[in-house]
């Protein structure tokens, strides 16, 4: 059933309450997600984006209940990724000649995925489309936010920015608007989404935010493609993006480790204790990688000024969970963060050096040689780990 966004603009998307993993298995979605599609019914009728492929038939069936598909004049594909374009094949079977407005890169991605020669109309930033009743759509390329084909669409007079992935969250709700949902949930899912998806594109995002601001568009509503529609102070999420895109950090130090026989775990907790003793103001958090959600951990890394990584030595290296997590951090191109390493060993003891090298390669500023401990930490080495924590804090 369609839901009214404003005047003649309606949400016609899908709430996916069951989604637990996104991008294959790469992103945990504890609170599900939504795929937001919008119908504009002015003199011209416009469909903006669709839904993920598994919901294609359901989407088209629901759309048919709302409108004769032949009455759709224009389709706007802000982004080619399958969670927004996945219902296009089912839809276009009914209306194969309708024009699809999208970027040149979106033509590549849509053709590459669906192998169809639909009636594409390529648009660039500033191009406009008259939809009657004195209203226009204005297109804004959002290159690398987060794909080369990404675009936003602005509806004049109603002052709605259809931002696609930007400003979204993986958050299932029947409440359409930001002021109607739990604000903690909304913030947590928004920052997790930014940390896990948008961090690598910070330099481009900074430029794009400046560019969008310089257009001086009055933005009353930001209608994203995931989660809620920002109608109450929509610029709050733009301001948050400005902060987050500037190599964001809080006064937080996060200790992340994996362990085999709990020796490295004991070190982790002593190091955290030392940090807390040396700086009562700093937020210290400790996570066992094997028992934590990696995407939630990435959000903690995003908020951290320093990350302290620990692994015992195994086969002259580190546990694969630690290597894999450092690889994930490297992909996200974190900037302006310090790192230190620790770990227990029984024989050769290479893990700390391996972590230091991996963290430096991942773009972290490694602040010391790290803390190695032979066999299980005795009271003296526990005291030394505590002192190591104090050093990190100052
Ligand atoms: Fe929500 Fe890039 O797709």
- What's the CA-to-centroid distance between 80 and ligand 1, angstroms? 8
Read off the pLDDT of each residue in 39-56 and give the average, rounded to a whole number. 98
Over residues 256-287, the pLDDT tens digits come to 999 999 999 999 999 999 999 999 999 999 99
**Within 6 Å (CB) of ligand 1, which residues are found?**
79, 81, 83-84, 146-147, 165, 225-226
Read off the pLDDT of each residue in 355-371 and give the average, rounded to a whole number. 98
Over residues 203-212, the pLDDT tens digits come to 999 999 988 8
Q: Are residues 36 and 16 in the same domain?
A: yes
Query: Residue with the nearest Cα to atom 1 of ligand 1?
Result: 165
Neighbours of 138 (CB within 10 A): 18
Q: Are residues 228 and 269 in the same domain?
A: no
What atom of ligand 1 comes closest to residue 164's alpha carbon?
1
Give the DSSP letter string of 290-353.
GGS-HHHHHHHHHH-SEEEEE---BTTB--HHHHHHHHHHHHTT--S-EEEEEEEESSS--HHH
**Across all residues in the chain, what is the average pLDDT?**
97
Over residues 105-161, the pLDDT tens digits come to 999 999 999 999 999 999 999 999 999 999 999 999 999 889 999 999 999 999 999
Domain boundary among 216, 244, 272: 244
Residue 380 and residue 328: Cα distance in Å, rounded? 35
Order the strands of the 38-41 sheet from edge to edge.
Answer: 3-6, 9-11, 38-41, 45-48, 74-76, 99-102, 119-122
Q: pLDDT at position 53, please?
A: 97
Q: State the catalytic residues.
A: 23, 79, 81, 83, 146, 165, 193, 226
Residue 140 and residue 322: Cα distance in Å, rounded? 40
What atom of ligand 1 comes closest to residue 35's alpha carbon?
1
Q: Coil, helix or strand for 88?
A: helix
Residue 394 in any domain: the answer is no
Q: pLDDT at position 136, please?
A: 98
pTM of the model: 0.96
Q: pLDDT at position 213, please?
A: 82
* Count of structural domains within the chain: 2
Residue 65 in any domain: the answer is yes
What atom of ligand 1 comes closest to residue 146's alpha carbon?
2
Q: pLDDT at position 216, please?
A: 83
Q: Are residues 357 and 257 in the same domain?
A: yes
Read off the pLDDT of each residue in 322-342 and give the average, rounded to a whole number. 98
Q: Are 121 and 101 in contact (CB under 8 A)?
A: yes
Range of the domain at 371: 253-389
Over residues 173-226, the pLDDT tens digits come to 999 999 999 999 999 999 999 999 999 999 999 999 988 888 888 999 999 999
- Please report, for the domain that includes residue 8, its CATH number: 3.60.15.10
Q: Are 34 and 61 in contact (CB under 8 A)?
A: no
Q: pLDDT at position 217, please?
A: 87
Domain boundary among 213, 244, 275: 244
Q: pLDDT at position 31, please?
A: 98
CA dihedral 345, 351, 352, 358 (to 10 degrees): -170
Residue 131 in any domain: the answer is yes
């Amino acid at each position: 059933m369609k839901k009214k966004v404003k005047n003649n603009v309606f949400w016609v998307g899908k709430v996916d309450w069951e989604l637990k993993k996104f991008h294959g298995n790469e992103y945990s979605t504890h609170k599900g997600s939504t795929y937001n599609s919008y119908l504009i019914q002015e003199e011209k009728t416009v469909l903006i984006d669709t839904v993920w492929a598994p919901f294609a038939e359901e989407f088209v069936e629901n759309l048919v209940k709302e409108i004769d598909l032949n009455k759709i004049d224009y389709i706007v594909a802000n982004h080619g990724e399958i969670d927004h374009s996945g219902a296009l094949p089912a839809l276009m079977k009914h209306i194969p000649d309708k024009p699809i407005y999208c970027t040149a890169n979106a033509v590549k991605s849509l053709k590459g995925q669906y192998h169809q020669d639909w009636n594409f109309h390529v648009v660039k930033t500033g191009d406009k489309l008259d939809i009657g009743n004195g209203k226009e759509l204005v297109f804004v390329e959002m290159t690398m936010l987060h794909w080369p084909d990404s675009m936003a669409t602005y509806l004049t007079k109603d002052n709605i920015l259809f931002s696609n992935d930007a400003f979204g969250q993986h958050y299932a709700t029947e409440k359409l608007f930001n002021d109607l949902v739990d604000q903690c949930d909304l913030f947590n899912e928004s920052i997790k989404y930014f940390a896990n998806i948008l961090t690598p594109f910070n330099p481009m995002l900074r430029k794009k935010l400046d560019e969008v601001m310089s257009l001086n568009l009055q933005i009353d509503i930001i209608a994203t493609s995931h989660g809620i529609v920002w109608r109450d102070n929509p610029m709050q999420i733009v301001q948050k993006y400005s902060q987050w895109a500037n190599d964001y950090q809080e006064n937080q130090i996060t200790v992340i480790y994996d362990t085999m026989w709990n020796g490295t775990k004991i070190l982790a907790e002593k190091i955290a204790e030392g940090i807390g003793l040396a700086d009562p103001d700093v937020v210290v958090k400790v996570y066992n990688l094997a028992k934590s959600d990696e995407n939630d951990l990435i959000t903690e890394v995003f908020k951290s000024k320093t990350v302290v990584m620990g692994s015992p030595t195994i086969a002259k290296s580190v546990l694969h969970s630690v290597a894999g997590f450092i690889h994930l951090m490297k992909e996200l191109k974190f900037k302006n963060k310090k790192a230190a390493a620790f770990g227990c060993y029984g024989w050769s003891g290479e893990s700390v050096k391996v972590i230091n090298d991996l963290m430096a390669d991942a773009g972290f500023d490694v602040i010391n040689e790290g803390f190695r401990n032979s066999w299980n930490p005795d009271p003296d080495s526990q005291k030394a780990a505590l002192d190591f924590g104090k050093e990190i804090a100052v």
